């Protein structure tokens, strides 16, 4: 038994009251809730009772929560966080590898470069990182000014703080005055580059979701 258009609107109002306006999840969640109600209607429940039972079932998924992977500081409804973790987890390990592997390698195999080479590398990395920071600022402004919410935008919000690694690495320079490549600040820089890549990736995914659902 299918619900009527008017009954579906009651569910839509419920989601609106929950401020659940993530365009990449809204339709999916609505379909699941409709399916739950229709399943109860086939068991001869009234729509009113089926609606109440479904609301009680889904209420826990709209409670705010946080995640170790995305940072305890950032909270959102359980549905959003669960999807965000599933999407982001591989990138979390990419980020860790980008920091840990250069540090471990340079600790095992110290690298020394000539003074003129050191200046060139430091200047190149500084210029490249400065360009990335400008691009990240552009992404930040564009997403913060947009009223459209997606899971990808939520992930983006949790990543901006990681750019501090890029700034820290560049503030000192990856190569010391004696020409030795600094393991820790190289790790900071590589970790910062990884964060910039992650931000770029999820910004593109956000734009794709906006385009898919034709939200201007």
Give pLDDT tens digits for 106-115.
999 988 888 7
φ, ψ dihedrals at 99, nearest 5°: -90, -50
Task: Give the model's pLDDT for residue 176.
Answer: 78
Task: Give the model's pLDDT for residue 213.
Answer: 81
List of E strands, the chain? 64-67, 71-77
Q: What is the pLDDT of residues 130-166, one digit of tens each?
A: 898 899 999 999 988 888 999 999 999 999 888 887 7
| Of the candidates 161, 184, 192, 194, the residue with the CA atom closest to the CA atom of residue 92 | 194
> Under a CB-based contact definition with an 8 Å cutoff, are residues 110 and 181 in contact?
yes
Task: Give the model's pLDDT for residue 174.
Answer: 82
Mean pLDDT of 204-216: 83
Task: Give the model's pLDDT for residue 175.
Answer: 80
> Under a CB-based contact definition with an 8 Å cutoff, are residues 198 and 92 in contact?
no
Task: Give the model's pLDDT for residue 203.
Answer: 96
Q: Which residues contact 31 (CB under 8 A, 6 or more apart)?
A: none
Instruction: Give SS3 for 197.
Output: helix
Task: Give the model's pLDDT for residue 165.
Answer: 79
Task: Give the model's pLDDT for residue 215.
Answer: 59
Mean pLDDT of 163-185: 80
Q: Can you give the pTM of this predicted structure?
A: 0.87
Mean pLDDT of 20-41: 91
| Whole-angstrom distance, CA of residue 121 vs CA of residue 32 | 54
Mean pLDDT of 71-99: 93
Task: Give me 109's structure tokens.
Answer: 């195999």
Q: What does the DSSP assignment read for 48-83?
A: HHHHHHHHHHHHGGGSEEEETTTEEEEEEEHHHHHH
Instruction: Give SS3 for 122.
Output: helix
Task: Give the model's pLDDT for residue 139.
Answer: 94
Mean pLDDT of 9-19: 89
Please state, rounded to an integer, the average pLDDT across all residues of the chain. 89
| DSSP category for residue 19 | T
Task: Give the model's pLDDT for residue 113.
Answer: 84
> Under a CB-based contact definition with an 8 Å cutoff, are residues 170 and 125 in contact?
yes
Per-residue CA distances from 59 to 27, 38, 84, 105 (Å): 17, 18, 19, 49
- Reported as a pLDDT band with limits 50, 70 and 90, residue 18 is confident
């Amino acid at each position: 038994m299918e619900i009527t258009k008017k009954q579906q609107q009651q569910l839509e109002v419920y989601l609106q009251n929950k401020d659940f306006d993530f365009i990449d999840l809204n339709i999916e969640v609505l379909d699941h809730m409709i399916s739950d109600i229709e399943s109860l209607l086939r068991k001869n429940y009234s729509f009113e009772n089926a609606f109440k039972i479904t609301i009680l079932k889904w209420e826990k998924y709209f409670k705010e929560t946080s995640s170790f992977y995305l940072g305890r500081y950032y909270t959102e409804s359980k549905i959003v966080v669960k999807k965000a973790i599933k999407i982001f987890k591989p990138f979390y390990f990419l980020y860790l590898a980008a920091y840990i592997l250069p540090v471990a390698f340079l600790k095992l195999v110290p690298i020394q470069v000539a003074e003129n080479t050191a200046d060139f590398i430091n200047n190149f990395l500084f210029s490249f990182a400065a360009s990335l920071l400008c691009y990240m600022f552009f992404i930040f402004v564009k997403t913060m000014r947009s009223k459209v919410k997606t899971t990808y935008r939520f992930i983006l919000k949790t990543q901006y703080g990681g750019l501090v690694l890029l700034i820290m690495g560049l503030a000192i320079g990856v190569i010391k005055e004696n020409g030795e490549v600094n393991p820790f600040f190289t790790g900071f820089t590589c970790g910062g580059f990884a964060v910039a890549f992650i931000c770029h990736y999820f910004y593109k995914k956000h734009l794709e979701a906006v385009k898919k659902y034709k939200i201007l």
